[in-house]
Amino acid sequence: MKEATLRAEAFPEAAVRSRARTGAADAFPPADEYGQALFGADVGSPDPTCPIDRLRLVPPIFVPQRMAQLIELAREPVYRDVLLETTIGGFRSALPLYVSAFGSTEAASVDLGIAASRQAGRLGIPMVVGENVMPVNSYGRLEADAEQSLLGRISAYQKEALDGYGGVVVQQSTEDADAEVWNLVYSDPNVLPLLQSGRLAFELKVGQGAKPGLGGMTLVGAGAAERLADAYLLDPVLGGGQILRSSSPGTFTEEILRQQIRLMRNNYPRARIWVKLPPARDVAAAAQVAWAAGADAVTVDGAEAGTGWAPRAFLRQVGLPLGECLRRIGHDRAAPDPSCLLVSGRMWEGARVAKCLALGANAAGLGRAALLAVDTDPDQGLVNLVECLALELQLLISALGKYNVEALGTEDVWSPLEI
C-alpha cells in the first residue's frame, strides 16, 4: 500500500512512525529528558477544551460591597484595598497561594528546591515538600552537606519564614511510608519551632494529576535496579540501559482513607493534616470522606497538573480537568462550608487563580511556575512571580466589586457552556 493512502486529515503520522521505530519506549517521553524537563499540560495559550479557560470573569454594574468599603474608608476604594491574606489548611497565609509539591529529580534539583523554600518562607505562603525527597536525598541529620536533604528544605524555609505566616507541609506517599518520613520530622528538634507555632502539616498523597491511578515512576541504571529489585517493579521497557522503576499507587477504599486520616490525627496531634487527591471520577466523594474524617485541607490536582515522569497517554488523555473537579466537588459543598479546598494545575497568572477561587477553591498551588521562577532567578524569581500574581488578583477582585478573596463566588464567572 502506498504511503499516501495511509494519510488522513490530522492523522498523527509522525507519532505512528516513531512508535514503529522505537516500540514500547515511545509510550514515555524521551529517556534523555528524564530529570531535565517539566512535563504536564502546556502552560502557554488558553486551551479551548479546558473548562477554566472557557470561563470569563464578569464584573457587575451594581457593587454593594464597594459601597460598604467606601463608607468604611471614607473614600472611593481602589484595587490596592483588596485584602489577599487568607487561611490555607490551618495556616495563616499572606496570599491565596502556596508552593505545591515537587520532588527529587534533577528538574526539581537541590538548588531549585532550596531556592523555592527560602522565597516561599519570605513570602509568607505555605510550601509542600514533595514525595521521594528523603528516599533519594536522605533526611539530613548526619550528612555533612545537609542542604540537599529533606531537612535542608525545611530549614531553608524556617530561616526566611515571615513571622506568623505560612507553614511547611511534608508529603508522604506509599514508598515514603516505609522510610517513616513523618515520624522523623515530627520527632526532630530542628522542626520544633514549626510545630510549636502550628506551622507544620503532613500530607497524605492518594494520587496526582500527571498520572492518576499510577504510582511514582523514575528511571534508574542497572546498578540501582539490582539494589531495588525486591522493593519495586522494574521494567527495561525504555532500552539503552535505562530501567523504569515503578511504585505501587496504593490501595484505598473509603474506610482505608478514613482510618488513615484518623491514624495521622492520633499519631501527630500537633500537625495539620492534608490529603492530596488525583483528578479521579469520584474526587468529590473522596474529598467529603477526607473532610469528614478531620482533614484540614484537601488538595486536588487537575489533569493539567504535575511535573513528573509519566506516560504520554496519561498526560494527554487521563484524568478530569481541574474545572470539572471543581464542578463536581462544588455540588457537594454548601456555601458556608468551612472545609479547605486547594487546587493546582497550570497556575501561573492571576485570572486562572481568580476563577478557581470563584469556583470554590481556597487557594491555588504553584508547581511548574514556581520551579521555572526560581530557575530564572534563584534569589528573587518566585518573589517576583508572586508579586505579579498578587497585583493581578487585586485588580481582578476589585473589578468584580469585592475586597477580599473569600468574597469571590460563582456569580463572578460566566461560560458559554455549563461547567
* Same-domain check for residues 165 and 226: no
* Same-domain check for residues 223 and 348: no
CA angle at 49 for the pair 43 and 54, rounded to the nearest 5°: 85
* Same-domain check for residues 235 and 88: no
Do residues 300 and 287 make contact, with C-beta atoms less than 8 angstroms apart? yes
In a domain? residue 6: no
Mapped onto helix, strand or coil, the DSSP state of residue 54 is: helix
Closest CA to 106 of 148, 151, 169, 139: 148
pLDDT at 34: 59
* Same-domain check for residues 256 and 244: no
In a domain? residue 47: no
pLDDT at 402: 97
Separation of alpha carbons 395 and 375, rounded Å: 27
pLDDT at 139: 56
pLDDT at 134: 52
Do residues 203 and 276 make contact, with C-beta atoms less than 8 angstroms apart? yes
Cell numbers representing residue 305 in the block: 497538573
Q: Which domain holds residue 243?
A: 216-248
In a domain? residue 43: no
Do residues 362 and 343 make contact, with C-beta atoms less than 8 angstroms apart? no
In a domain? residue 387: yes
Do residues 65 and 407 make contact, with C-beta atoms less than 8 angstroms apart? yes
pLDDT at 389: 92
* Same-domain check for residues 193 and 269: yes
pLDDT at 135: 53
* Same-domain check for residues 298 and 333: yes
DSSP tally for the chain: helices H, then strands E? 17, 15
Give the per-residue SS3 of 348-379.
Answer: CCHHHHHHHHHCCCCEEEECHHHHHHHHHCCC
pLDDT at 124: 97
H or E element, residue 246: strand 243-246
363: CATH: 3.20.20.70
Mark which of 248, 267, 302 sits at the end of a domain: 248
pLDDT in tens, the chain (419 residues): 344 443 344 545 666 566 557 666 665 677 666 555 555 555 455 666 688 989 999 999 999 999 999 999 999 999 999 999 999 999 999 999 999 987 555 555 557 888 999 999 999 999 999 766 555 555 555 444 455 578 888 999 999 999 999 999 999 887 666 668 899 899 999 999 999 999 999 999 999 888 888 887 778 788 877 887 777 888 887 777 788 888 888 899 999 999 999 999 999 999 999 999 999 999 999 999 999 999 999 999 998 887 667 788 887 789 999 999 999 998 766 655 679 999 999 888 899 999 999 999 999 999 888 888 888 889 989 999 999 999 999 999 999 999 999 999 999 999 886 55
pLDDT at 7: 38
H or E element, residue 177: helix 174-178
Closest CA to 256 of 206, 202, 209: 206
Report the residue count for the chain.
Answer: 419
pTM for the model stands at 0.86
* Same-domain check for residues 148 and 242: no
Number of domains within the chain: 2
